Amino acid sequence: VTAEKGGFEYFMLKEIHEQPKAYRDTMLGRIDEQGEKVILPELKLTPDQIMNIRNIQIIGCGTAYHAGLVGRNVIETLVRIPVETDVASEYRYRSPIVSPDTLVIVVSQSGETADTLAALREAKANGAHVLAITNVVGSSIARDADDVIATLAGPEIAVASTKAYTSQLIAFYLLGLYLAEVRGTQTPEAVKEMIQAMQALPEQLDMMLEQSESIKAYAEQISHHEHLFFIGRGLDFAVAQEGSLKLKEISYIHSEAYPAGELKHGTLALIEDGTPVIALVTQESVLEKTVSNIKEVSARGADIMVITYEEHAATLLKSVDQVFVIPKTLPLLSPALAVVSLQLLSYYASLALGNDVDKPRNLAKSVTVE
């Protein structure tokens, strides 16, 4: 069994370490040789159809939904098409506005999640073009969709999704760049810069994984707490939501992810002396604002850990207790690195508590009932 796990104690840790490869594999053959353009030969969606897209809806459950939150920001930023995101079990019941000019993107690791499949069928019945981002090409969702972008993460065994999620992010980066090229919304220089930054991600991630010991010590510290908070703005908030879910799934510690600026409208009442708060600070455009939110929780006695870039570490250390540094990348790409520190955090917290990391109580890898 240990051989199956490649020498790792749990599949989850093995899968966390497989992410640099999953990034490379998911990009392979989808970027031209000059590194200037994204090519998605598998797409049936024509340039004409792409020009006509009026709105995009991204649907998924759990971690796949969280990848969609990042996808929304990526597509809106790169392509300037309005994007909505929905949890699949809610989508059908809110009379979504769909037309033949709607692109619906369903995200599913397994391709078998009943809620996501039902949402896909509803969108198709209403005339939308449905594109699936999935890790299983022979799955029900892949079969029913009009288009498929396969994530090449390889089989994911641990219930808590890691490499499938980050490969879904890579798929959204590729798709966003492709749509931007067709619609002419980004300069060739900007596209090239982003491609280069994407190609650097696997190596940057390898560097991060080598430093996982510092996260382990912090995880052991928080494992004794009952509640904690994740805060961030923009893409940092999207990552915070995934970090919070991961921690709940396998450590059973209660946590909430909050948009940093929203805390003062209610949740700040829960912060007391010693409450752990994990703040993500990678989005430079809102950095100052997040820092003032950090000061708000610090003034209430929170014990704060920040995930940020080296260049901000020294300043932030003045107002927080600990800093975990991630390698520098473009704002849109930071989720693909930042989230890995949160995956490690939940893994080591679960391990410290003696839980079965790969098979958390009450949860299933793939949920085929609605």
Closest CB to ligand G6P among 153 and 291?
153
Closest CB to ligand G6P among 137 and 367?
367
As a whole number of Å, the end-to-end CA separation of the chain is 33
| Residue 114 structure tokens | 């009943």
Residue 38 forms beta bridges with which residues?
31
CB of 19 to ligand G6P, least distance (A): 16
DSSP helix, strand, coil percent of the chain (3-state; round to 5): 50, 15, 30
Closest CB to ligand G6P among 109 and 204?
109
Closest CB to ligand G6P among 141 and 291?
141
Q: Give the per-residue SS3 of 210-275.
A: HCHHHHHHHHHHHCCCCEEEEEECCHHHHHHHHHHHHHHHHHCCEEEEEEHHHHHHCHHHHCCCCC
Closest CB to ligand G6P among 319 and 366?
366
Assign 116 to helix, strand or coil.
helix
The residue number with the shortest CB distance to ligand G6P is 62
Q: Which of 19, 57, 63, 343 binds ligand G6P (CB under 6 A)?
A: 63
Give the x-and-dash track for 100-139 against ligand G6P (CB under 6 A).
Answer: --------xxx--x--x-----------------------
Identified catalytic residue from 21, 289, 328, 365 = 365
CB of 66 to ligand G6P, least distance (A): 8
Alpha carbons 244 and 222: distance in angstroms, whole number:
13
Residue 9 forms beta bridges with which residues?
none
Assign 352 to helix, strand or coil.
helix
- Binding range to ligand G6P, per CB under 6 A, among 55-63, 69-77, 194-202, 346-354: 55-63
Give the x-and-dash track for 338-367 against ligand G6P (CB under 6 A).
Answer: -------------------------xxxxx
Closest CB to ligand G6P among 61 and 305?
61
Interaction between residue 89 and ligand G6P (CB under 6 A): no
CB of 158 to ligand G6P, least distance (A): 9
Distant-in-sequence, close-in-space partners of 233: CB < 8 Å, separation ≥ 6: 259, 260, 261, 283, 286, 289, 290
Instruction: Please say if 246 is a catalytic residue.
Output: no
Instruction: Report whether 134 contacts 142 (CB < 8 A).
Output: yes
The interface with ligand G6P within residues 159-188 (CB under 6 A) comprises 159, 161
Closest CB to ligand G6P among 39 and 157?
157
Report residue 297: phi and psi, to 5°: -75, -30
- Binding range to ligand G6P, per CB under 6 A, among 61-69, 121-129, 236-244, 260-268: 61-69
Strand-strand pairing, 227-232 and 276-281: parallel
Number of H helices, E strands in the chain: 14, 10
CB of 354 to ligand G6P, least distance (A): 21
Distant-in-sequence, close-in-space partners of 8: CB < 8 Å, separation ≥ 6: 14, 17
CB of 358 to ligand G6P, least distance (A): 12
CB of 118 to ligand G6P, least distance (A): 12
Q: Residue with structure tokens 């966390």?
A: 16
The catalytic residues are 365
- Interface residues with ligand G6P (CB under 6 A) are 61-64, 108-110, 113, 116, 159, 161, 363-367
